[in-house]
Amino acid sequence: MLKVNVKNADETKNIGFKLSKSLQPGDVLLLDGDLGAGKTTFTKGLAEGLGITRNIKSPTFTIIKEYSDGKIPLYHMDIYRLEDGGSDELGLDEYFNSDGITVVEWSKFVESNLPTEYLKIQFIRNDDNNFDSREIIFDAKGSHFNQILKSGEL
C-alpha cells in the first residue's frame, strides 16, 4: 500500500502522469472515491503521459471511451450509472485481457471477476481546511504493481 497526499488537481494529474510511465499493455487500474474526488482528473494526467492528445472527458454517459492515439491504447470507463447492475454485459473481461490499459472509475460496481493483477486507487477528500487536498491510496495486486509502488516513482 502507498499513500500520497496531494494539494490540488494539478498534483493529482501529475501522479497519473508519473504512473503512466511504468504501465504496460494489459494493465488494469481500478479507481474509486466520491463524486468529484479526482478520478477523471487523475486519468487525464495518465492519458497525457501515454501521449494521448485527445481531451479526456468523463465517460459517465458513454460508459466506455477508447483512446488509441497514444503509445498504448487506453480504455477509460465509468460504471457509476451501473450501480444497480448491468456491468456484466459490458464484457469487461475482454478489456481486462486486452493489450490496452483499462481504467475503471467506480470499480466497486464491477460485478464480473476482477483480473488476477490490478492496481486499486482510492481518492479521498482530506478533512482539512484545503478543499483541494486529497489522499490517494494505492493497493497493488501482483508483482508488477507492487514493484511500481516500491520504486518510489510516485
Cell 460485478 appears where? 111
**CB atoms closer than 10 angstroms to residue 94:** 10
- Nearer CB in complex with ligand ATP: 27/105: 105
Strand 28-33 and strand 64-67: pairing?
Answer: unpaired
78 interacts with ligand ATP by CB under 6 A: yes
Minimum distance, C-beta of residue 58 to Mg ion, in the bound complex (Å): 4
What does residue 127 show for φ and ψ, rounded to 5 degrees? -90, 60
Q: Of 47, 134, 138, 140, which one interacts with ligand ATP (CB under 6 A)?
A: 134
Q: What is the largest CA-CA distance in the chain?
A: 43
135 interacts with ligand ATP by CB under 6 A: no
Instruction: Please count the residues of this chain forming the interface with ligand ATP, following the rule CB under 6 A.
Output: 19
DSSP classification of residue 153: -
DSSP classification of residue 17: H
Q: Of 16, 38, 49, 70, which one interacts with ligand ATP (CB under 6 A)?
A: 38
Q: Of 20, 40, 87, 102, which one interacts with ligand ATP (CB under 6 A)?
A: 40
102 interacts with Mg ion by CB under 5 A: no
122 interacts with ligand ATP by CB under 6 A: no
DSSP classification of residue 51: T
